[in-house]
Amino acid sequence: MLDTEVLAGIKAGMRGELDSVTIYENAAKNAEGEVKDFFEERAAAEKQHFNYLLDYYRTKTINLNHERNAAADLQGGWKSAIVGDAFMKQVASSRHLTAAVAAALHLEADAMHLYREWAGRAQAPELKKLLAKLGDWEQQHYDDLLLMQEQLERYYFDINNFQPF
């Protein structure tokens, strides 16, 4: 991949991270307690990802030396959620929050596929490693949200008293 392609890809990644920040921040505004904290933590992690990509973009070069370590730079930026019944019920009882989870799930999937596609096209080993790390990081986000969405479905139907005809 040429540097211009990488920079265009980083811009696309930055847009996706900002979309995620918006979704998580809006969800936090419509939540309380641990659910609010959950969405605020997700927004903070996505801001960290955005700033990480922005640093690359601003330099107009891709710093691939051994001093730049994506795994270390991003460590701790995302914690898998451990959620209980009260958490799930609050999210499931809000169409806004369930929609936020669904939208975030799609954004994470798009980002994961994009980074992995770029990793497959990259020639430089360090660039391949960076893009693979970004793909892995989005995979973790996706897996967490997918599990949450699957669990939410049960609560959503129970709360809304959906029954077969």
Alpha-carbon distance of 54 to 13, in angstroms, equals: 10
| Confidence label for 130 from pLDDT (cuts 50, 70 and 90) | confident
User: Is 79's pLDDT higher than 80?
Assistant: no
Least confident of 16-25, 75-84, 95-104: 75-84
- Give the domain ranges of the chain: 3-66+80-159
For the entire predicted model, the pTM comes to 0.75
CATH of domain 3-66+80-159: 1.20.1260.10
According to DSSP, residue 95 is labeled: H
In the structure, what pLDDT confidence band is assigned to residue 67 with cuts at 50, 70 and 90? very low
d(CA 42, CA 25): 8
| Axis crossing angle, helix 95-121 with helix 85-92, rounded to the nearest 10 | 100
